[in-house]
Amino acid sequence: MANKIVLLGGRGMLGSEVYALFAEGNITALDLPQFDITDKTQLAEAMGDCDVVINCAAFTDVEKAESQSALAHKVNAEAVGNLAQIANRKNIYVIHISTDFVFDGKKAGSYAETDPVNPINVYGQSKLDGEILLSQNHNLYSIIRVQWTYGKNGNNFITKLISLSKQRNSLKVVNDQFGSPTSTIEAAKVIKEFVSKKSQGIFHYAAAGRASRYEIAKFVFEKLKMKTELIPCQTGEFKTAAQRPLNSSFCCDKIQTLLAEPIAGWQKPLETFLETL
Ligand SMILES: NC(=O)c1ccc[n+]([C@@H]2O[C@H](COP(=O)([O-])OP(=O)(O)OC[C@H]3O[C@@H](n4cnc5c(N)ncnc54)[C@H](OP(=O)(O)O)[C@@H]3O)[C@@H](O)[C@H]2O)c1
């Protein structure tokens, strides 16, 4: 029998791609302002008689989270705890999306699921608290941590780069933050596989490979033939409210064993995305 799916955060950057993949199926997408995940009654009603909940809803503004820590915690942690309790009562399979920001970024190599967590900002702490509350209140779930995602329906590093480059002759980009730009279309496909296999546990998912933000910017500018001068710099040169992990690289060996296709390198999906702009 087909799954009855409820998708939370269905208008967000990742959620909208998940919705697009399931558009033919039995899926209900919910998001602000009509649906608020922090409203327990609304949440219970939304989860009604579904078999699967995909939670892409989150307070994702890393800078604002520093000054709005109560709201970040309510959305990213408390609400996930409530969701877990409802899911547990109804035996609903939950796919919850989390982040590389649960780590401090000080590791030399790529992060495995077993590496110790240590968030260095409010957003990361709130997402980690959400993971913990889910695991304490439910058994039938997967947590998929993603990193450096980009897509057409949201603000992200790639779209910010392009819009800034249109306003300036030169752009400083950090060359000491490492990760892998990851397409939300590719991440949505992974989520779809999880829905059919009901895989359980914590998983890391990112495009294959590793690059600094500066290297990624160079790739984007070359592909788009942009003339803006790129200047490499250090994270410390930018004053931000939230600290950023310097290393966001994921080891994706665990999730790869479950997936039908090998995870592609970051370049090809990014090139395809750039062609759509
Ligand atoms: N973007 C990244 O680089 C990145 C990296 C690692 C992990 N993630 C994770 O990926 C997941 C998806 O994020 P995204 O990139 O798609 O971000 P996004 O575009 O900000 O999507 C999040 C969605 O959740 C909604 N939302 C916020 N508060 C809500 C509430 N109280 N009730 C219901 N919905 C609410 C947002 O609505 P509004 O837009 O109206 O606020 C938005 O539509 C999140 O779990 C995030 O932590 C993202």
- For the chain, the domains span 5-156+180-210+249-264
Q: What is the pLDDT of residue 25?
A: 81
93 is catalytic: no
**pTM of the prediction?**
0.98
Q: What is the mean pLDDT of the chain?
A: 97
- Looking at the chain, the whole-number percentage of residues with pLDDT higher than 90 is 96
Say yes or no: CB of residue 104 within 6 Å of ligand 1: no
Q: CA–CA separation, 229 vs 157, rounded Å? A: 17
Nearest to 36 by CA among 79, 72, 67: 79
Where does the pLDDT of residue 232 fall: very low under 50, low under 70, confident under 90, or very high at 90 and above? very high
For residue 253, the model assigns a pLDDT of 98
Cα 58 to middle of ligand 1, angstroms:
4
Judged by phi (left if over 0) then psi (alpha if -120 to 50, else beta), residue 205 lies in beta
Annotation: CATH topology of 5-156+180-210+249-264: Rossmann fold (3.40.50)
- The pLDDT score that the predictor gives to residue 1 is 61
Asked whether the predicted pLDDT for residue 241 surpasses 80, the reply is yes
CA of 95 to the centre of ligand 1 (A): 14
pLDDT in the model for residue 125: 98
**23 Cα: distance to centroid of ligand 1 (angstroms):** 20
Ligand 1 within 6 A of 69 CB?
Answer: no
The pLDDT of residue 21 is above 70: yes
Q: What is the mean pLDDT of residues 93-122?
A: 98
Residue 2, pLDDT above cutoff 90:
no
With bands split at pLDDT 50, 70 and 90, how would you rate the model's confidence at 157? very high
